[in-house]
Structure 1
C-alpha cells in the first residue's frame, strides 16, 4: 500500500493510550507487589531477582513473535489477546503459590507484556513525521509512567498481603481491555508488515540500539529490585511506595521535555546529558540525609532513566518506512529486554555492599554518558547534522 494512502485513514491514539493507562496502573502495582508479597506466600526473598530476570526474559522471547500476531489479527485484537494472557498468569500465581509456578507465570507474563508494548508503540509510531512520532511517544510514555506511579501509590491503601491486591490488579486489567474491545475504529490498517533484514538492521543507529539496551539495564533493576532496596533502607512500606512513585513520576514529567528536545538536539548528546543527570541523582541517593533530598534524588534518577528509551526508539525509527515500524519496534524492545534480563542479576551480584543496586546504576549511567558523548562528538566532527542523532 502507498504510504500516503495509509495516512488518509485516521490512526486514533485514544484506544491504545486509554488501554495502556489502566494497564500501567495495574503493572506498576504488580511490579512492586510481587517482591513485597513473597513472604506472605511463604516464599524466600532471594527469589526477587530471578522473578525480575525471568519476566524480562519473557519480554525478550515475546518480541520475536509479536509481528506475526499483529499481522494476522490487527492491532486491536492483538492488544485484547495480550492483556487477557497477562490476567491468566496472575490467576495461575494465585492458584499455585510456589516458586516454580511463579517463575513460569512471570515468564509468560513477560511475553504478554512484550505484546502490549509492541502493539501500542507501533500503533502510535505509525505517524507521518518525526515530530508527530515524538509527540505520540511522549503521550505514550506519560500514560505509561503516570499509570505506573499511581500503581505504586496503591500499595499503601490496598496493602501487600493476601489475595485482595492481586484481584485489584486483575480488575484494572479488565478495564484496560475495554477500549480495544469496544472501540472498533481507529486502529492502523492491517499492512503486510515487513521484517528488517540483517543489512537494514546494521543501518539502524548504534546509539539507538545501545540506548534501548541500557534502558533495560536500568529499568529492569529499578522495577525488580528497587522496592526491596528502599524497603530495606527505610523499613517502611509507605515510604517505599512513595519513593517508587517519585521515581516513576520523574520519568513521566520529563516526557514533554524529551519530546521537545528530541527533534531539536542530537539524540546521542541528549542521552549523554540525561545519563549525566542520573549520575547526579545517584550521588544524592547515597549521600542524602533527609527524606526531601532523597526524594529529589530519586526524582532525578527516574527522570534520567525513563528518558532514554523514547529518545532511542525515535532515533531508530527516523529512517524506517511505515511497513517496517512493527519490526523496528520489536528490534528495539529486544535490545531493551536483553538489558532487562541481565540487569537485575548483575545488580544483585555485582558486589556485597548494601548499596550494590545504586552503585550498579551509577556505573551504567556514567559509562553510557561517556559513550554517548563520544558518539555525539564524533558525528559533529565528521560533518553530520547533530540534530538527527
Structure 2
C-alpha cells in the first residue's frame, strides 16, 4: 500500500477544500437551476417541492451508510466515487426528462452529496483540538458557501433553459474530481472507524442534534423553494440570482465569526443569537421597500441560517475520539437530512399566502431562539462553564 497516501502532510486541508470549492459552485448553481428549468424540459412547477424533498431523502438515506464506504476505500477515493455518482445522476436527468426519472435521479444525487459532506467534514474534523476543529470547519463552510454564492450568480449569464447550463455544472464537478484524483498525499491516517452505539448517541448533545435538524428545516426550503419564490415577486424577479447569492454570501461571510465565537461562547446561546438575527431578517424582507434593504435582509437571513450547522456539529464532536468522528458526522447529517426532507413540504403548506415561505422561516427561527436560550440558561444554572458545555 502507498503509505504516503496515509501519512503525508498530516491530514492536509488542501485536497478536500479545493475539491469542495468546485463542487460548491456547481451545487449552488444546480440547486437554483433545477426549479427554474423545469418548464424548459416540459415538467410542471408543482414538482419543485417534491424534487427538493426527495433529494434530501437521498441525503438522509446516504447518511446512514457512508461510514462503511469510507472505512473500506478511504477518504480520497470515496470523494471521487461520490462526485462521479453525482455527475451520473445529472446526465440521467438530461437524457430522460421524465418526472419519475428526475425524482429517482435527485434521490441518487442526495446520496452522493451525503457522501461528499461526510467525507469532507470528517476529513477536516479529524484534528487534535476543539480550536483546530472549529478553524477547519470554518474554512470548510466558507469554501462551501462562497462557492454556492458564486454558483447562484451564474443564473443570469448562463441562463436556466435547456441542457447547456447543466453542461457547465458537469464541467465544474469534473474539476472537483481532479484534486482527490491527482493528489494522493494528505488524507486522514488509515485507522479503524467505530460505529457509534445507541448509548453513545444518547450522550450526544441534544442542542447539537436539534441544531442540525433546524438547519435542515431552514436550508431545505431556502435551496429548494426560495429561487421560485423570489422569481415570482414583482420587485425581486429580475434579481433572482443576485438575491439568492446574497443569502449564500451571508452564510459564507459569517463563518469566520462562527469559528471565533464557537470556542468562546456557549454554543446553544450562540445558536439562539443567530436564530434571533434570522427572525429580524425575515421581518426585514417582508417590510423592505428598496433593493438595498432587501439585499441586506437576505444577507442576514443567510448568515443566520447557515451559521447553525457548523455550531451544532462542532458541539457534537467536541469531546469525541478520532475513531468516532465519521460516525458522528453521519448522525448529524442524518438529523439535518430529516429536517431537509420535511422543510420544503412543511413550507408549501403555507403557499396560500404569497409570503408563506417567509412566515415559515420566521416561525422556525423564533422557536429555535427560545429553545436554545432555555437550554443555555439551564446549562448556566447547572453550574457548568458555558464555553465548554452547551
TM-score w.r.t. length of structure 2: 0.97
Q: Give the aligned partner of residue 84 of structure 1.
A: 84
- Deviating beyond 3 angstroms after TM superposition, the runs of 4 or more aligned structure 1 residues are 6-9, 234-238
Is contact 2:7–2:188 with CA below 8 Å preserved after alignment? no
Q: Give the aligned partner of residue 68 of structure 1.
A: 68
SS at match of 2:387: helix
Q: Give the aligned partner of residue 249 of structure 2.
A: 249
Q: Give the aligned partner of residue 342 of structure 2.
A: 342
Deviation at 1:350, TM superposition (A): 3.4
Query: Hey, what's the Cα distance between the residues in 1 that align with 2:232 and 2:8?
Result: 54
Q: Give the aligned partner of residue 297 of structure 2.
A: 297
Query: Hey, what's the Cα distance between the residues in 2 that align with 1:350 and 1:288?
Result: 21
| Alignment partner of 1:106 is 2:102 | no
Is contact 2:57–2:341 with CA below 8 Å preserved after alignment? yes
Q: Give the aligned partner of residue 182 of structure 1.
A: 182
Q: Which runs of 5+ in 1 are unaligned?
A: 1-5
Q: Give the aligned partner of residue 3 of structure 1.
A: none
Query: Hey, what's the Cα distance between the residues in 1 that align with 2:326 and 2:65?
Result: 11
SS at match of 2:332: helix
Deviation at 1:386, TM superposition (A): 0.7
Query: Hey, what's the Cα distance between the residues in 1 that align with 2:41 and 2:235?
Result: 20
SS at match of 2:90: helix
Deviation at 1:33, TM superposition (A): 0.2
Query: Hey, what's the Cα distance between the residues in 1 that align with 2:238 and 2:186?
Result: 41
SS at match of 1:215: helix
Counting only pairs closer than 5 Å after superposition, residues 319-358 of structure 1 correspond to structure 2 as 319-350=319-350, 352-358=352-358
Deviation at 1:216, TM superposition (A): 0.3
Is contact 2:217–2:342 with CA below 8 Å preserved after alignment? yes
SS at match of 1:12: coil
Query: Hey, what's the Cα distance between the residues in 2 that align with 1:100 and 1:235?
Result: 34
SS at match of 1:233: coil
Query: Hey, what's the Cα distance between the residues in 2 that align with 1:34 and 1:160?
Result: 8
Deviation at 1:349, TM superposition (A): 1.2
Q: Give the aligned partner of residue 27 of structure 2.
A: 27
* Count of aligned positions: 384
Is contact 2:211–2:308 with CA below 8 Å preserved after alignment? yes
SS at match of 2:127: coil
After superposing the two structures, state which structure 1 stretch, 349-358 or 30-39, moved more: 349-358
Counting only pairs closer than 5 Å after superposition, residues 45-56 of structure 1 correspond to structure 2 as 45-56=45-56
Q: Give the aligned partner of residue 117 of structure 1.
A: 117
Q: Give the aligned partner of residue 36 of structure 1.
A: 36
Is contact 1:53–1:341 with CA below 8 Å preserved after alignment? yes
Is contact 2:134–2:262 with CA below 8 Å preserved after alignment? yes
Is contact 1:7–1:127 with CA below 8 Å preserved after alignment? no
SS at match of 2:118: helix
Indicate the RMSD between aligned Cα atoms, in angstroms.
1.2
Query: Hey, what's the Cα distance between the residues in 1 that align with 2:169 and 2:142?
Result: 20
Is contact 1:277–1:300 with CA below 8 Å preserved after alignment? yes
Deviation at 1:234, TM superposition (A): 3.2
Query: Hey, what's the Cα distance between the residues in 1 that align with 2:44 and 2:349?
Result: 17
**Given the superposition, is the C-alpha separation of residues 7 and 83 from structure 1 closer, same or farther in structure 2, using an over 3 Å criterion?**
closer
Is contact 1:26–1:169 with CA below 8 Å preserved after alignment? yes
Deviations 1:294-330 (A, max 9, x none): 1110000000000000000000001110000000000
Is contact 1:284–1:297 with CA below 8 Å preserved after alignment? yes
Q: Which runs of 5+ in 2 are unaligned?
A: 1-5
Deviations 1:276-305 (A, max 9, x none): 000000000001011111111000000000
Deviation at 1:190, TM superposition (A): 2.1
Deviations 1:199-222 (A, max 9, x none): 111110000000000000000000
Deviations 1:101-120 (A, max 9, x none): 00000000000000000000
